[in-house]
Amino acid sequence: MLTLRHLHKTYANGVHATNDISLDIPTGLFGLLGPNGAGKSSLMRTIATLQTPDSGSIHFDGVDVLQNPQALRRQLGYLPQDFGVYPKVSALELLNHFAVLKGITQRGERKEMVEGLLHQTNLWDARHRAVHSYSGGMRQRFGIAQALLGAPRLVIVDEPTAGLDPDERNRFLNLLARIGEQVVVILSTHIVEDVTDLCPRMAIIAAGRVLVAGEPQAAIDTL
Ligand code: ADP
Ligand code: ADP
């Protein structure tokens, strides 16, 4: 469980990107829905400990994240928006390389994890192709494989479906829903159907505030 309480973040230009956000985010796929500029990326970066809030608290499985960011980072898989300028090496080599960077140094363990993730993300048949030659959907699935290295307990995915065709989008959301059977997965999106299709729980944010949170249809009906 991820618990956010009274988070505030104001940028140097005076924008209140996060304005008193409190949320309880349990295991499962959680949709963070909001228009462009709502503050989704800002909140994701704050949860990912890439920026600190001005005030408020974040707890993950009881641990105070702002006091102990390293504890969260070890448990975190993060796929930022617009991620990925990739070198011309195969997906298999690249994922293996990221696994080494992640500190998975034991060869057998690394091989098992990398191959497992390529299967899980349906990229096994394309493992010898360079990621930069992949379609948008394949790249996003590669991004998820990369984010899942080290078996994170919290996975954050920022606007991953923008630009995907319907087939790729469904495939991608189903992958996230399966991952959400085990861990906390936060999906940020401005597309209503992304959350109504597969997220058991969601929040709608606008101008840095939570408008409503809960089950998707009930939440949308209250607006
Ligand atoms: P600060 O406001 O802390 O001095 P900057 O204005 O230099 O920081 O911006 C830091 C980063 O945030 C840069 O990468 C910049 O491109 C990005 N950034 C700045 N303003 C915006 C904005 N309005 N929307 C999105 N990103 C922004
Ligand atoms: P979303 O992800 O929902 O599109 P963002 O979190 O990117 O929203 O942006 C929320 C607001 O904060 C916007 O007004 C944006 O311009 C502003 N913003 C985002 N990052 C920065 C930054 N680094 N510096 C200043 N303003 C920013």
pLDDT in tens, 19-40: 999 999 999 999 999 999 999 9
Task: Specify the pLDDT at position 107.
Answer: 96
The two three-digit tokens of residue 57, written as one number = 């608290």
- Using CA atoms, how far residue 23 sits from 32, 38, 47, in Å, is 11, 16, 12
Tell me the pairing of strands 76-79 and 154-158: parallel
Q: Helix and strand tally (H, E) in the chain? A: 8, 10
Look up residue 39 and give its DSSP letter. Answer: S
Work out the average pLDDT over 181-200: 94
**Per-residue pLDDT band at 43 (split at 50, 70, 90):** very high
Give the torsion sign (CA, 199, 113, 154, 187).
negative
Best CA proximity match to 3, nearest among 47, 44, 54: 47
Ligand 2 within 6 A of CB of 15: yes
> Which amino acid residue places its CA nearest to atom 11 of ligand 1?
11
Best CA proximity match to 29, nearest among 198, 160, 205, 158: 198
Rounded to the nearest angstrom, the distance between the alpha carbon of 190 and the centre of ligand 1 is 21
Rounded to the nearest angstrom, the distance between the alpha carbon of 42 and the centre of ligand 1 is 11
Work out the average pLDDT over 188-192: 94
202/8 Cα distance (integer angstroms):
20
Task: Specify the pLDDT at position 163.
Answer: 81
26/193 Cα distance (integer angstroms):
21
> Cα-atom radius of gyration of the chain, to the nearest Å?
17
3-state class of 12 per DSSP? coil
Residue 26 CB: number of other CB atoms within 10 A? 12
Ligand 1 within 6 A of CB of 13: yes
Task: Specify the pLDDT at position 197.
Answer: 85
The two three-digit tokens of residue 156, written as one number = 């954050």
**What is the H or E stretch that residue 57 is in?**
strand 55-60
Residue 83 in this model has a pLDDT that exceeds 80: no
The two three-digit tokens of residue 22, written as one number = 């409190």
Rounded to the nearest angstrom, the distance between the alpha carbon of 103 and the centre of ligand 1 is 31
- Select from 13, 42, 81 the residue to mutate for testing ligand 1; criterion: most ligand atoms less than 8 Å from CB: 13
